Homo-oligomer: A and B are copies of this chain.
Amino acid sequence: MTWHLARRTALMNPSSIREILKVTERPGIVSLAGGLPSTDAFPVEAVREASARVLRDTPHAALQYAASEGLPELREWVAAHLRDTGMRVDASQVLITTGSQQGLDLLGKVLVDAGSRVAVEEPTYLGALQAFGVFEPEWTTVPCDGDGPLPDGLASARGARLLYALPNFQNPSGRCISAPRREALVAAAQAIGLPIVEDNPYGELWYDEPPPAPLAALWPEGVVYLGSFSKVLAPGLRLGYVVAPPVLGQKLLQAKQAADLHTPGFNQRIVLDILRTDLLSRHLPAVRALYKTQRDAMAEALRRHLPDGCRWETPRGGMFFWVELPAGTDAAALLPHAVERGVAFVPGNAFFAGAGNPATMRLSFVTSTPDQIDRGVRLLADTLRTRP
């Protein structure tokens, strides 16, 4: 039996990195490779109470098919929450998604034709490359500095269907775009009519000061905004949302319906119940304090252990350090040696649409203790010094 696969499957290949990283699950390895939040940051007791209440008060509604748009009260909460950040949002614009990853898939369906162009930052979130990649775009990489995409660099993206940007504590680079850069960026995008998809999974994870207002607040008609409950509550519930200008809303809704009918109603009701208890106002400061300690531990460990020629900025939020290694270093080739010594990281090349930079790596600080972080970074430094 011969299966005729769709052309796009040629781009869907298992990652060799993923295979190497599988061994890092074993005890004794310090994994700085993860993209996972810390389970210490999960509000288990709140989920427990909320689940019990939902199954006591609205069991049938929670377990029945539900509207593709999402639970009305949850859409209202999201809209009100976003208005507090400076966005103009009506609940009718909010589409609840099965994680914000699904928002990327739906946007790909609605905005990307095979051969059309999609512009991304340098580096960019791997999951966005995968989600949009399914729709076979041509990639355009917008040049970036430590403050994000260069407004002048947007000219290269003229005619693209969208610019995908992750302004707050980007995965993988950790950078947070400044308020003036946001304004310049939006002005440049407006000038060439380039829509922006703004992804904000990490905005609440700030350790020094909150990030500036979202791009969507500066240009409501031109920006689609993606949010997530994965990093503020728990990723296993798979709950995110897309906020789109009305012109896109109906198409996104139809795409959502075709994709999975609706986001699990039980999960939506649990999260709504938790949000109504105002848990976030106590929970988020605790998560920030936890992660800040780990962030500081990694900053200190990198300063102490890494050899000359390595460069990094301490991120002011999020989950990751982005380290540039001495020119000529191939982080992917280094990885098996690091794993042998007992530490794992993600080589940076996976995070580029184009040629990339092999001399980069992403280090997560949120799933290791300060001691583990120190040990992991030391082992990493040893590997760098003795690399073949």
Which A residues lie at the B interface, using CB under 8 A? 1-9, 12-14, 35-37, 39, 42, 44, 47-48, 51-52, 55-56, 59-66, 97-99, 101-102, 104-105, 109-114, 116, 127, 130-131, 133-135, 161, 190, 193, 195, 221-222, 230, 234-238, 245, 247-248, 250-251, 254-255, 257-267
Contact = CB atoms under 8 A, between A and B. Distances in A.
A237 B98 CA distance: 12
Given A44-B59, A51-B55, A254-B12, A261 B99 contact: yes
A39 B63 CA distance: 8
A60 B39 contact: yes
Contact of A44 (B2, B63, B131, B263): B63
A254 B131 CA distance: 10
Copies of this polypeptide in the complex: 2
Nearest to A222: B1
A63 B42 contact: yes
A272 to B, nearest CB: 14
A235 B64 CA distance: 5
Given A1-B190, A44-B60, 14 more contacts: A6-B110, A6-B112, A9-B110, A12-B110, A39-B60, A47-B59, A48-B52, A48-B59, A64-B235, A66-B236, A97-B260, A102-B259, A238-B263, A264-B267
B51 A36 contact: no
A251 B5 contact: yes
B195 A3 contact: yes
A256 B50 CA distance: 29
Contact of A258 (B60, B111, B130): B130
Contacts of A39: 60, 63-64
Contacts of A6: 109-113, 116, 135, 161
21 contacts: A1-B222, A3-B245, A6-B135, A6-B161, A12-B258, A35-B65, A36-B65, A39-B63, A47-B63, A48-B52, A51-B51, A64-B236, A66-B236, A97-B260, A101-B261, A104-B258, A133-B258, A238-B261, A260-B260, A264-B264, A267-B267
Nearest to A109: B134
B236 A62 contact: yes
Contact of A55 (B13, B47, B63, B161): B47
Contacts of A161: 4, 6
A69 to B, nearest CB: 12
Contact of A63 (B99, B234, B266): B234
A14 B250 contact: yes
Contacts of A266: 236-237, 267
